[in-house]
Amino acid sequence: MKYTFIRVFFALNIFLTPIFGDVQLIKKENSDSNTTLLVIGGIHGDEPGGYFSASILATHYKINSKNLWIVPNLNQESIQKDSRGVNGDMNRKFSIINSGDKDKKIVENIKEIITKKNVSLVLNLHDGNGFYRKTDKGNIFNPNAWGQTCVIDQCDLIENQPFGNLNTIAIDIKERINKRLIEEHHTFDVKNTNTKFDDEAMQLSLTYFAVTNNKPAFAIESSKNLPSLSQKVFYHLLAIEEFMNIMDISFTREFELNEQNIDQILKTYGNLNINNNISINLTNIKKSLSFIPIKSESNVFKFSNPLGNVVKESGGFVVYIGNKKITTLGPQYFKQGESCIEEFEVMADGVKISLGETSDFFVNDDFNIVKKDGYRANIIGYKAVGRLDESGVNIKLQDFDKKFSIDVDDLVYRIEFYKNNEFCSMSKVHFRQDNAK
Sequence-distant (≥ 6) Cβ neighbours of residue 172 within 8 angstroms: 242, 246
Q: Would you place residue 20 in the very low, low, confident or very high pLDDT band (cuts 50, 70, 90)?
A: low
pLDDT: which is higher, 385 or 59: 59
Residue-wise burial string across 223-256, b where 16 or more C-beta atoms lie within 10 A, e elsewhere: bbbbeebbbbbbbbbbbbbbbbeebebebeeeee
Q: What is the pLDDT of residue 387?
A: 86
Residue-wise burial string across 137-158, b where 16 or more C-beta atoms lie within 10 A, e elsewhere: eeeebbeebbbbbbbbbbeebe
State yes or no: pLDDT of 14 exceeds 90. no
Residue-wise burial string across 302-328, b where 16 or more C-beta atoms lie within 10 A, e elsewhere: bbbbbbbbbbeeeebbbbbbbbbebbb
Both 98 and 195 in one domain: the answer is yes
Residues 110-121 have pLDDT tens digits of: 999 999 999 999
Arithmetic mean of pLDDT over the chain: 93
List the one residue out of 318, 259, 320, 304 whose CA is nearest residue 49: 259
pLDDT: which is higher, 2 or 341: 341
Looking at the domain assignment, is residue 133 inside a domain? yes
CA distance 188 to 73: 25
CA distance 354 to 345: 5
Both 296 and 387 in one domain: the answer is no
CA distance 77 to 309: 10
Q: Would you place residue 250 in the very low, low, confident or very high pLDDT band (cuts 50, 70, 90)?
A: very high
Q: What is the pLDDT of residue 433?
A: 80
Q: What is the pLDDT of residue 383?
A: 81
Q: Give me the sheet containing 360-363, strands edge to edge.
A: 360-363, 422-431, 412-419, 375-379
Q: Would you place residue 134 in the very low, low, confident or very high pLDDT band (cuts 50, 70, 90)?
A: very high
Per-residue pLDDT, averaged over 7-14, amounts to 32
Looking at the domain assignment, is residue 80 inside a domain? yes
Both 212 and 311 in one domain: the answer is no
Looking at the domain assignment, is residue 58 inside a domain? yes
Q: Do the Cβ atoms of 63 and 251 come closer than 8 Å?
A: yes
Q: What is the pLDDT of residue 33?
A: 82
CA distance 228 to 113: 32
**pTM of this prediction?**
0.93
CA distance 382 to 276: 25
Q: Which domain holds residue 126?
A: 2-266
Both 359 and 233 in one domain: the answer is no
Q: Do the Cβ atoms of 161 and 213 come closer than 8 Å?
A: no
Looking at the domain assignment, is residue 338 inside a domain? no
Residues 313-369 have pLDDT tens digits of: 999 999 999 999 999 999 999 999 989 999 999 999 999 999 998 999 999 999 999
Both 386 and 368 in one domain: the answer is yes
The vertex-23 CA angle with 22 and 26, nearest 5°, equals 145
Looking at the domain assignment, is residue 172 inside a domain? yes
Q: Would you place residue 32 in the very low, low, confident or very high pLDDT band (cuts 50, 70, 90)?
A: confident
Residues 214-237 have pLDDT tens digits of: 999 999 999 999 999 999 999 999
Q: Where among 333, 362, 379 does a domain terminate?
A: 333
Both 10 and 133 in one domain: the answer is yes
State yes or no: pLDDT of 277 exceeds 60. yes
Q: Do the Cβ atoms of 377 and 367 come closer than 8 Å?
A: no
Both 371 and 283 in one domain: the answer is no
Considering only 30-39, 147-156, 186-195, 313-322, which range has the smallest mean pLDDT? 30-39
Per-residue pLDDT, averaged over 36-62, amounts to 98
Looking at the domain assignment, is residue 189 inside a domain? yes
Domain count, the chain: 3
Quick one: 132 exposed, middle or buried, by C-beta within 10 A (0-12, 13-18, 19+)?
buried
Looking at the domain assignment, is residue 213 inside a domain? yes
Rg (CA), the chain: 25
Both 262 and 276 in one domain: the answer is no
Residues 405-429 have pLDDT tens digits of: 999 999 999 999 999 999 999 999 9
CA distance 205 to 409: 46
CA distance 110 to 215: 13
State yes or no: pLDDT of 12 exceeds 60. no
pLDDT: which is higher, 14 or 70: 70
Per-residue pLDDT, averaged over 266-291, amounts to 97
Q: What is the CATH number of the domain that holds 81?
A: 3.40.630.10
Both 234 and 166 in one domain: the answer is yes
Q: CA-CA distances (angstroms) from residue 379 to 77, 321, 344, 348?
A: 36, 28, 14, 15
pLDDT over 70, % of the chain? 95
Q: Would you place residue 158 in the very low, low, confident or very high pLDDT band (cuts 50, 70, 90)?
A: confident
State yes or no: pLDDT of 435 exceeds 80. no
Looking at the domain assignment, is residue 339 inside a domain? no
Both 192 and 240 in one domain: the answer is yes
State yes or no: pLDDT of 9 exceeds 50. no
Both 391 and 285 in one domain: the answer is no
pLDDT over 90, % of the chain? 89
Both 214 and 112 in one domain: the answer is yes
Q: What is the pLDDT of residue 279?
A: 97
Strand bridging mode 189-192 / 149-152: parallel
